[in-house]
Structure 1
């Protein structure tokens, strides 16, 4: 039975290492994408504010289409940053789900190979705990990544001050 515990610890340490590696890659790119998203969103707000303030002049010179095109350009830039952020978020989700499924698979394979020494209740608990642990690890990676990514907002406020 001690051999089984050592095997399960080994199986669990590999996904933990992968989670940490994926988190590092994701956070570094996600932080930059969030920063770009904030910068491009600021240009949208600035353009909107300037357009509202100069609305009478824009209409007087019949430059509506030029300002509409400029607004569209700013929106396109912002949406491309947002799309890249969504893609990186899905990239992390796919990797974390793959790790969770592999851990559950290895737990099930271990249960099959040790079927003579394990009861059905123990196997059920092993698979249930494997699913719960992977869900908890995924949430830990997600929440810690979101916290690190959202620090960008604090950094931007610090820049203005």
Structure 2
């Protein structure tokens, strides 16, 4: 699978989960969707940090600047997620505070995805050969499976750091 398709699919999936969290009215459903959002977002950001950014670094003129922006956006997403989880975990659920934190997270996700889709993905298409994009997509898919298995077994988010051959 081409990394461009993989990344766009992940963006769309996370956007969909975010909408389901925002629309959930029943606490149990909201909690389940929130856990799914956190898990999907953490895996996505880990894969980018461990595989995509090292692969792209120095590969085209604006690569390092775009990577830096993406990393900064990822930190903002992480902070917004932690803040939202804290509010959602409070004994007395505060709907207004939760909505504020969800909006913050939504803005962070949108900024990250828009920046990648408008700036980074076109550069990847232009400067990375199709075969290499497909190889990187396979690395992502394999590493995602490893990360999800590690999370399911109670482990952390640290896939074996593999590079393409």
TM range (shorter): 0.3 to 0.5
Tell me the TM-score normalised to structure 2 length.
Answer: 0.35
Tell me the TM-score normalised to structure 1 length.
Answer: 0.36
Q: Which has the larger radius of gyration?
A: 1
